[in-house]
Amino acid sequence: EAPRALIVSTWDFGAAANAAAYSAWKKSGSLLDAVEAGAWVPEADASNHSVGLGGYPDREGHVTLDAIIMDDRGNVGAVGALEDILHPISVARRVMEKTPHTFLVGEGARQFAIAQGFPTTRLLTPEAEAAWREWLKTAKYTPIANIENQRGSALDHDTIGIVACDASGRLAGACTTSGMAFKLRGRLGDSPQAGSGLMVEPGVGAATATGVGEEVTRIAGSARVVSSMRAGMSPMAACREAVLHIAKLRGDAVKDAQVGFLAIDRNGRVGAYSLQPGFTYAVTDLGGQTTVHAAQSLG
């Protein structure tokens, strides 16, 4: 029998996140600690242009971060369009643990983070600023969901979604991103929205999404994947069903767009599926072994 997965995350750089998640889990036994620690890795990595420090800014030059964390007891916390804070996932966790709310955005989220003792940090690196200035030369001020595509890197998304399941079937998940490069100011993606970028349901499983957030939000993608698992589909079949639904609903509008779903069920079975080839994910089993896999895709 295949080893049951403990932690799975989007893209091949998820392997490093999984390693941090695994050691946090070993230390505290908490899946929430695990997914939070995993999210910290790309958040602090300046070479990743889609998450945290070094993320590409919006059209006006502001790096704005979206993150969500969720467990299987109905606890959820999220932040949207958060500026100047290195680890939005930890602010999301504070929203979950210290407020009666589930979602804080913009300046209010920033003020909350500062009040909670988070230091402010300049997130726009010289490299990301240079890329933005280059983009500005040709920028047309029209909302284009797959703007990264125009820059020749449509398939090179880097948002991290992490979902985890322990041997007793407990579940948790996290998702963190700087969103689409050069987005309109105020744009919120799928990632911090419960049911779109992430969904966790006790006794069923968890799912997360990456790619063009608008296409995920339109169908509440991760909630759909979890519903399909609840109805008996395998994680892989559930991810495929959501991708097929987007393709059918959107037709030509998504012919160049990437969307990928990744899911784990309460038995630690894993599945992933994407619109375009190129989506990868990292799987860490209960023994700490990590492997990277290419998802099947429609295209």
Which residues make up each annotated binding site for substrate? Answer: 187-190, 210-213
Using CA atoms, how far apart are residues 141 and 296, in angstroms rounded to an integer?
35
Of 24 and 295, the one with the shorter C-beta distance to ligand SD4 is 295
Nearest CA to 50 among 36, 66, 61?
Answer: 66
Q: What is the DSSP string of 100-165?
A: S-SEEEHHHHHHHHHHTTPPP-----HHHHHHHHHHHTT--SS--TTHHHHTT-TT----EEEEEE
Q: Verify binding: residue 18, ligand SD4, rule CB under 6 A.
A: no
Q: Verify binding: residue 90, ligand SD4, rule CB under 6 A.
A: no
Q: Contact letters (x/-) for ligand SD4, 22-51, by CB under 6 A? A: ----------------------------x-
Contacting residue, 189, 195, 235, 268, with ligand SD4 by CB under 6 A? 189
Using CA atoms, how far apart are residues 90 and 77, in angstroms rounded to an integer?
9
Choose the catalytic residue: 10, 64, 125, 159: 159
Q: If you search the block for the tokens 């091949």, which residue do you land on?
A: 12
Contacting residue, 180, 198, 242, 257, with ligand SD4 by CB under 6 A? 180
Using CA atoms, how far apart are residues 136 and 182, in angstroms rounded to an integer?
9
* Number of chain residues interacting with ligand SD4 (CB under 6 A): 14
Q: What's the min distance (Å) between Cβ of 1 and ligand SD4?
A: 32
Q: If you search the block for the tokens 């609903």, which residue do you land on?
A: 249
Of 106 and 288, the one with the shorter C-beta distance to ligand SD4 is 106
- What is the helix (H) or strand (E) element at residue 239, kind and residue range? helix 235-250
Residues 193-212 that bind ligand SD4 (CB under 6 A): 210-212
Using CA atoms, how far apart are residues 49 and 214, in angstroms rounded to an integer?
19
Residues 138-167 that bind ligand SD4 (CB under 6 A): 157-159
Tokens representing 144 are 């284009």
Q: Is 10 a catalytic residue?
A: no
Q: Verify binding: residue 290, ligand SD4, rule CB under 6 A.
A: no
Q: Which amino acid is at 269?
A: R
Q: Verify binding: residue 222, ligand SD4, rule CB under 6 A.
A: no
Contacting residue, 191, 193, 274, 290, with ligand SD4 by CB under 6 A? 191
Q: What's the min distance (Å) between Cβ of 125 and ligand SD4?
A: 18
Of 42 and 268, the one with the shorter C-beta distance to ligand SD4 is 42
Q: Which stretch binds ligand SD4 (CB under 6 A): 25-33, 88-96, 188-196, 269-277?
A: 188-196
Nearest CA to 5 among 241, 236, 225, 282?
Answer: 282
DSSP secondary-structure letter at 52?
S
Say whether 259 sits in a helix, a strand or coil.
strand
Q: What is the largest CA-CA distance in the chain?
A: 55
Of 77 and 189, the one with the shorter C-beta distance to ligand SD4 is 189
Q: What's the min distance (Å) between Cβ of 48 and ligand SD4?
A: 10
- What is the helix (H) or strand (E) element at residue 97, kind and residue range? helix 88-98
Q: What's the min distance (Å) between Cβ of 202 and ligand SD4?
A: 25
Residues tagged active-site: 159
Q: Which residues bind ligand SD4 (CB under 6 A)?
A: 50, 157-159, 177, 179-180, 189-191, 210-213
